[in-house]
Amino acid sequence: MIGVADLVVSYPRAQRNAVDGVSFIAQRGQLTALAGPNGSGKSSIVRALLRRADIASGSVTIDRTDVRTLSHAELARSVAVVPQREETAFPMQVREYVALGRYPHLGLWRTASNVDESAVDDALVQAGVADLADRDTDALSGGEWQRVRIARALAQKAPALVLDEPTTFLDVAHEMAIFELLWSLARSGLAVLLVSHQLNLVARFADTIVLLSEGKVATSGTPADVMKADRLESIYGWPVVITRDPAIGAPSLVPLRRPLNL
């Protein structure tokens, strides 16, 4: 599991902490979502997890081991990450790209074994991109590219998977496909931590939502606990109503138009 305890992250010359005393747990077998307005600290928590942002106080742990005590290779074997934006330096075959996820297990000198090849095959199947294995990465659609990036992360065979806005710029069908995939990966036993602005999709698929505001946890719990109109209006500064998803009954946010000044 991923544990965040009283985490504080600050940046030089910033007027306030980017993350200010945040605590939550992302359990194995569950999909945990970090949500909140721009600048609320979501990506800074991911950077702290990856040791790309200094932890001023508190801790981030994976299976109760502080990430600051892990080597970079140990960290990569413990958590796989799909960052918000990524482009390859040059085109390569999808299978070769996904095989990069085995690097934490191979290091500089060891050649790929049958175990590594099997891990790549499994990742391609899990992410639903086995039919793209021989394609070049620059010939993929946006949705295909996102799934291939997830496949590379799955090839790491880490117990935790972290994704930062994985559905940005995707259409409705690809958004739904990605969220369905992440839900199934969580049910397979991974601890899946997702950063997303898509509150309605998060409410349909997440087990737990951690809603951030100005670097702090504004509220957390099940989608039904978190998706309250008055709370969301206060955090986002916009009038909303909460309805029910007609398919599964999950809470659904509808932003309102402000009255026109006639």
DSSP letter for each residue of 72-92: HHHHHHHEEEE-S----SS--
Record the pTM: 0.88
Calculate mean pLDDT across residues 112-117: 80
Could you tell me the sign of the dihedral formed by the alpha carbons of 116, 61, 32, 137, in that order? Answer: negative
Can you tell me whether residue 244 is helix, strand or coil? strand
Distance of CA 142 to the CA centre of its chain: 17
Residue 18 φ then ψ, to 5°: -65, -40
CB atoms inside a 10 Å sphere around CB 262: 3
Residue 107 has pLDDT above 70, yes or no: no
State the pairing for strand pair 55-62/2-9: antiparallel
DSSP, collapsed to helix, strand or coil, labels residue 112 as coil
Percent of the chain predicted with pLDDT > 70 = 96
Give me the domains of the chain, ranges plus CATH numbers: 2-63+159-255 (3.40.50.300), 90-156 (no CATH)
Residue 133 has pLDDT above 80, yes or no: yes
Token pair recorded at residue 4:
């965040």
Where do runs of H (alpha helix) occur along 89-214? 94-99, 103-106, 114-126, 142-155, 172-187, 199-205
What number is the average pLDDT over the span 168-183?
87
* Statement: residue 3 has pLDDT above 90: yes
Residue type, 219: T
Q: At 58, give phi and psi (nearest 5°).
A: 80, -165
User: Residue for token digits 């742990």?
Assistant: 61
pLDDT value at residue 261: 62
